[in-house]
Amino acid sequence: MFEGFVDERIDVGEVALRVRHGGDGPPVLLVHGHPRTGSTWHRVAPRLVEAGFTVVCPDMRGYGRSGKAAIRPDHSQQSKRAVAGDLVRLMRHLGHAEFAAAGHDRGCYVAMRLALDHPAAVRRVVLMDGVPISEALARCDARFAEAWWHWFFYAQPGKPERAILADPDAWYTGSPERMGAANHDEFRAATRDPETVRAMLEDYRAGLGVDRQHELDDRAHGRTIACPALFLWSTGDDMEELYGDPLAIWREWAADIRGVPIESGHHMAEENPAAVAEAISDLLRRGAWSTRRTPPRPAAPRP
């Protein structure tokens, strides 16, 4: 995977992030979802490099081989705001003062938070297979609860960790044929590591609490996504079943947004990477923007 990419670990303050990056041109940050790592983009990233972009694929804090922050009572150490702050510092470290961001699944919420909290840095945003957490919870009915029960189970203290680690394959399915052998190996290693599993669950605990409140605060203060945005949803997932027109929800959050359905199951970057890469490339080429670069910072030594 990621032939020609640099694979390194970079200290961004509270944690160090494992990141793969390569290419030359306008930078795009790709943010994975649960329970994947940055390797989920292994079929998309080379296509974007070939299209003329610099591509950065980190493991989010708590996930994969990235650092795990100390758990706080309100779970804010795994909030999307905290993750977004990590990623802005990562991009600055790599010399990218301005960049595009794309996020899938839980990474969709991070990409949204990046665009809302760091509008001077994020010039384009791609939101994939998700609607804002507060919007999903406001529409939560019996159908949602049946399909997305794991949101509420994962938020409970202690028990989800015990259940998952007792039999990871019963919780997290994937095959090397569909995912790619190396990507599958990385995914299986992550879902068997107790610290990673706990941090991934903290993502959900933050989601129902501090993340939801951050979004409600945004709405109360009229904050919306200012940059051009793209919403991608998998035709084989349940976005339309749950929300009718999910793009209509996003129009309340971003004035300049369009939508593209992707013929795929939920893990679209693995299942239809050509369509994903093409859609992202199209957005990034919409109206050229000049990207300010900052000198790359030397990595700080870690004890």
C-alpha–C-alpha distance, residues 208 and 111, integer Å? 17
Name residue, tokens 């971003």. 254
172-230-243 Cα angle (round to 5) = 60
Please confirm, yes or no, whether 105 is among the known catalytic residues: yes
83-87-88 Cα angle (round to 5) = 120
Q: What is the DSSP string of 68-124?
A: -PPPPTT-GGGSHHHHHHHHHHHHHHTTBSSEEEEEETHHHHHHHHHHHH-TTTEEE
Q: Which of 105, 129, 203, 218 is catalytic?
A: 105
Q: φ and ψ at 158, to 5 degrees?
A: 85, -50
Question: Roughly what angle, to the nearest 10 degrees, separates helices 159-166 and 194-206?
Answer: 140
**CA-to-CA dists, residue 193 to 78, 200, 247, angstroms:** 17, 11, 36
Q: Which of 7, 118, 185, 266 is catalytic?
A: 266
Name residue, tokens 């339309």. 240
- Count Cβ neighbours within 10 Å for each residue of 254-277 and write b for 16 or more, e otherwise: beebbbbbbebebbbbbbbbebbb
Helix (H, G, I), strand (E, B) or coil at 248: helix
C-alpha–C-alpha distance, residues 239 and 157, integer Å? 28
C-alpha–C-alpha distance, residues 246 and 241, integer Å? 9
- List residues with catalytic annotation: 105, 266
